[in-house]
Structure 1
Amino acid sequence: MVVVTKQLLDAFIACCVGRRDEYAYQRSDGRYARAGCPLTYDVVYRHLQGVQTIGSYLIDEHGLCRFAVFDSDASSGLVDLLQVQSQLAGVGVPSYLEQSRRGAHLRVFFRDPASPALVCRWLLPFCPDGVEFYPKQNALSERVPLGSLVRLPLGVHRVTGECYPFVAWSHGQFVPVAASLADMLAWFSTVLRVPVPASIPLPVADQATPTTPRTIPFTSVPSETTLTIRDWCRQHDPVAMIGRYVALDQKGMGCCPFGWHHNDGVDAHPSLWVYRPSYPDLCCWYCHAWKQGGSLFDFFRYYYGLSARELWSHILAGGHF
C-alpha cells in the first residue's frame, strides 16, 4: 500500500477538488450517488487507495471553480484533446491530459477560484464538437444546487477496475507522467495553475462602447465571401450549439447567461427558451425575463460582447463555437 502524506494530498486536492462540503461516490454500474457529507482527507485517501471512487462537484460552495475539464468519450479522445492542449499552449494556457475509461480528459488548473461564467467565456471557444466541457453551469441556483461533477483523478473506475493516469506525448506515444501513485501525486506540486483572465467582461446592455473580450484573434471580413449570416445560422442546430453554453432541459429551458437583466446578475430560475426556428425565421431563443430573443448569431454576439462585424470576422476566419 502506497504511503500518502498530507502534503501529497494537499497538492492533489488543490488541483482536482471543487466543492468540499459535498461529494458523490461511484456505484458499481458507473453512475454516481450523492454522499451527503463533506469531502475529507480520509475520503480522498480511500479514493486513491482504490477502496472507493468519488466524483467532485466543480462549482464549490462559494459558487466558484478551481479547474475546468474537456471530456472526450471518443476512442480518439487522447489525440483530439492533444490538439486542444496545443491550441491552449499557443495562447499561454497550460493543460494536462488524463486517460479515461472511453477516451480522455484535458484539465486546466486555476491559480485562484474563478466564476464559472467567466471560465466558460474564456475556455469554451476551444472546445471541439463532440467534446463536453465542465463546468456546465454558469452559476448554481435553487434548481441546480450542486451542478455537474467529474471523477476525481487516480481512482479505480468501478466498472473497469482500472486506474487511469495523467499522460504526456513523448517520442510518438502517450506515456504516464509518473511511474507510481506516489510519484503521480508528487507531480501535482509541479503543475502550473493558470490565472483566469479578468479581462473577459460580461456583455453590458445599453453601453455605448462595450468592452470587447479579445480571447480569439479577429481578421477582416473577406470581400469575396458569398456566405451570409442568415446562411450561417441555418447551417447550425441552435439547440445543440447553445446547449454547449447553457444547460438545457428536454424542453429547451435553461438559465439565461445574459446576467445584466437579472437580479444580482444571475438568472436563478430558468428563463431562457431555446428552440429550432421555423423557416424562414431565424429566431431560436427567447428570454422570458428580458422579453427579448434573437438568432444564433445574436446569441454569440451578446455572449461575447462583440459587434456584429467582429463576430462575423471570427466566423469567416474559421472560428468555431
Structure 2
Amino acid sequence: MVVVTKHLLDAFMACCVGRRDDYAYQRSDGRYYRAGCPLTYDVVYRHLQGVQTIGSYLIDEYGLCRFAVFDSDASSGLVDLLQAQMQLAGAGVPSYLEQSRRGAHLRVFFRDPASPALARRWLLPFCPSGVEFYPKQDALSESMPLGSLVRLPLGVHRLTGECYPFVTWSQGQFVPVAASLADMLAWFSTVQRAPVPASAPSLVTDQAAPTTPRAISFNPVARTDSAGSSLTIRDWCNQQDPVAIISRYVQLDQRGLGCCPFGAHHDDGVDTHPSFRAYYPTYPDICCWYCHVWRQGGSLFDFLRYYYGLSARDLWSHILAGGHF
C-alpha cells in the first residue's frame, strides 16, 4: 500500500475536488450514485487505494468552481486535447492532460474560485468540436441542485479495473508525469493554477423580445475561396450540428429542453425551469433554438453572438479566423 500523507492529499484535493459536503461513488456498472454525506480524507484515501471510486461535483456548496474539464470520449482524445492544450498555453492558460477510459480529459486548475458562468465564457471557446465541457451549468438551480460531476483522478475505473494517469507529450509519445502514485500526488503541489480573468464576454441584455423566433440579420462579410465561391453565415450555419454545439453550453434533455443560459431575461437572473429548446432547422430555415420565457430565438450564429456578447461582425471574423465553439 502506498503511504499517502495529509500534505499530499491536501494538494490533490485543492486541485481536483469541487463540492466538499457531498460526492458520488461509482458502482461496478460505471454509474455514479450520490453519497449524500461529506467528502472526507478517508474517502479520498480509499479512492486512491482503489478500494472505491468517487466522483466530485464541480460546482461547490457556495456556487463556485475551482477547476474545469474538457472531456473527450474519442479514441483520438489525447491528440485532440493536446491541440487544445497548446491553444490554451498560447493564451497563457496552463492545463493538464489525463488519460481516461475511452479518450482523455484536459483539466484547468483555477488559482481562485470562479463562478461557473464566468468559467464557461472564458474557456468554452477553446473546446474542440465533439468534446464535452465541465461545468455544464452556469449556476446551480432547483432542477440541478448539485450540477455535473466528474471522476476524481487517479482512482480505479470500476468498469475496466484500470487507473488512468496524467500524461505529458515527450519525444513523440505520451508518458505519465510520474512513475508512482506517491510521486504523482506530489506532482500536484507543482502544477500551475490558471489566473481567472476578472470578466469574460458578457451576455447581451438589451435585445428586444419578439413574439416569434427571430431570423438572423446577415452580416455582409463573406469569405471567398480560390474557386471564387463565398461562404456566408447561412452556409456556415447549415454546415454545423446546432444541437450538438448548443448542448455544450446548455444541458439538454432528450427532447432538446434545458434552462436558458440568458439569465438576464428571467426572474432573479436565472432560468430555474427549462424554458429553452434546441432543435434541428427545417430547410431553408436556419433557426434552431427558442426560449419560451424570453420569447426569443434564432440561428446558431445568433446563439453564440448573444452568449458571448459579440457583434455579428466580430463573431463572423472570429469564425473566419478558424475559431471553434
Which of the five TM-score ranges fits, normalised by the shorter chain?
over 0.9
What is the DSSP-based 3-state SS (H/G/I as helix, E as strand, rest coil) of the residue aligned with 1:109? Answer: strand
Whether contact under 8 Å (1:221, 1:316) holds in the other structure is no
Q: Which residue of 2 aligns with 1:245?
A: 249
- The AA in structure 1 aligned to 2:263 is G
Structure-to-structure mapping, 1:209-224, within 5 angstroms: 224=224
Structure 1 position 256, deviation (Å): 0.9
RMSD: 1.6
What amino acid is aligned across from residue 302 of structure 2 in structure 1? D
**Aligned twin of 1:171:** 171
Q: Residue type matched to 1:139 in 2?
A: A
Residue type of the alignment partner of 1:291: R
* Worse overlay, 285-294 or 223-232: 223-232
**Deviation at 1:66?**
0.7
Task: Give the partner amino acid of 2:108.
Answer: V
Query: d(CA) in 2 for partners of 1:141 and 1:223?
Result: 42
> 1:313 corresponds to which letter in structure 2?
S
Cα deviation digits, residues 251-293 of structure 1 (max 9, x gap): 1111111121122321111111111222222222111111111
**Which has the larger displacement, 238-247 or 8-17?**
238-247
Q: Which amino acid aligns with 1:228?
A: T
**Residues of 2 paired with 1:158 and 1:244: CA distance?**
27
Provide, for residues 27-55 of structure 1, a one-character-per-residue CA deviation record: whole Å limited to 9, x for no partner.
Answer: 11111111111111110011011111101
Cα distance in structure 2, aligned partners of 1:75 and 1:279: 33
1:64-91 CA-to-partner distances (Å, cap 9, x unmatched) read 1111111112222111111111111111
Equivalent residue number for residue 321 of structure 2: 317
Letter in 2 for 1:93: V
Which structure 1 segments of 5+ residues have no match? 208-219
Return the alpha-carbon distance in structure 1 between the equivalents of residues 85 and 41 of structure 2.
Answer: 31
- Give the corresponding residue for 1:215: none
Q: C-alpha separation between the residues in 1 aligned to 2:132 and 2:305?
A: 22
Change (3 A) 1:223 1:172: closer
Partners in 2 of 1:76 and 1:281 — Cα distance? 34
Distance 1:172 1:140 in 2: 42
- Which residue in the other structure is 1:31 paired with? 31
2:217 is matched with none
Deviation at 1:242, TM superposition (A): 0.8
Give distance in 2, aligned partners of 1:53 and 1:196.
Answer: 30
Report if the CA contact (8 A) 2:63-2:115 is conserved. yes
Flag the 1:174–1:237 CA change in 2: closer, same or farther, 3 A: closer
Structure 2: how far apart are the matches of 1:40 and 1:299?
Answer: 41
Change in CA separation of 1:265 and 1:201 when aligned onto 2, cut-off 3 Å: farther
Question: CA separation in 1, counterparts of 2:97 and 2:224?
Answer: 40
Q: Is the 8 Å Cα contact of residues 50 and 156 (structure 2) preserved in structure 1?
A: yes
Give the 5 Å matches for 1:1-321: 1-206=1-206, 224=224, 226-321=230-325
Q: Distance in 2 between matches of 1:204 and 1:45?
A: 45
Asked if structure 1 preserves the Cα contact closer than 8 Å seen for 2:17 and 2:56, the reply is yes
TM-score by length of 2: 0.91
Q: Which amino acid aligns with 2:268?
A: D
TM-score, length of structure 1 as denominator length: 0.92
Other structure's SS at 2:70 match: strand
How far apart, CA to CA, are the structure 1 residues paired with 2:27 and 2:70?
23
Identical-pair percentage: 84
Q: Which region of structure 1 is more displaced relative to structure 2, 13-22 or 221-230?
A: 221-230
Q: How many residues in Structure 1 have an aligned counterpart in Structure 2? A: 309
SS at match of 2:231: coil
SS at match of 1:286: strand
- How far does residue 201 in structure 1 lie from its aligned partner after superposition? 3.9
